[in-house]
Amino acid sequence: MSKNGYDFYKRINLVGPLIPYGKVATYGQIALLCGKPDNARQVGYALRSGRTAEDFPAHRLLNNRGYLSGRNSFATPELQRELLLREGVPVSEDYLVNLKQFGWHHTLAEAEELYLRFTQLGI
């Protein structure tokens, strides 16, 4: 837990790597899995400000409309597109991904297991 009592970023770094290869996830979805459904903006902020771990698949994150919106050198929409195409995720010329088909539809069990893990880690 950080000095101000905030543990959101630690949770993010545990959730991110769970996004399956060949799938994408939304900022809001990650926030929800972190137990903070209203913190979608903070997920983007975490990446923008370099608070995410090395193994965080930043290219697999997009907004709720399916648009790639990376904002730093590690994940520009162009780079995200390149990486996603490489792992078999179709991305249109205007950086749009079909969330229905390639979104990560996590299960309730996965969400519950994460919550348990956070509790065990005290974060």
Residue 111 contacts DNA per CB under 7 A: no
Per CB under 7 A, the list member of 48, 83, 110, 111 interacting with DNA is 48
Please give the span between the terminal C-alpha atoms of the chain, in angstroms, as a whole number: 6
Which lies closer to DNA via its Cβ, residue 62 or residue 114? 62
Q: What angle do CA 103, 111, 102 make, to 5 degrees?
A: 5
Q: Rule CB under 7 A: say whether 71 interacts with DNA.
A: yes
Q: Please select the residue that binds DNA; options are 12, 15, 33, 75, rule is CB under 7 A.
A: 75
Residues 6+ apart with CB under 8 A from 1: 7, 122, 123
Only one of the segments 16-24, 56-64, 82-90, 102-110 lies at the binding site for DNA (rule: CB under 7 A); that segment is: 56-64
DSSP for 43-59, please give it. Answer: HHHHHHTT-S-TT--GG
Binding flag, residue 12, DNA (CB under 7 A)? no
Q: Is 13 in the site for DNA (CB under 7 A)?
A: no
Residue 83 CB, shortest distance to DNA, in Å, is: 11
CB of 113 to DNA, least distance (A): 22
Q: Running DSSP on this structure, what letter comes out for residue 123?
A: -
Question: Which is nearest to 94 in space by CA: 75, 66, 72?
Answer: 66
- Binding of residue 16 to DNA (CB under 7 A): no
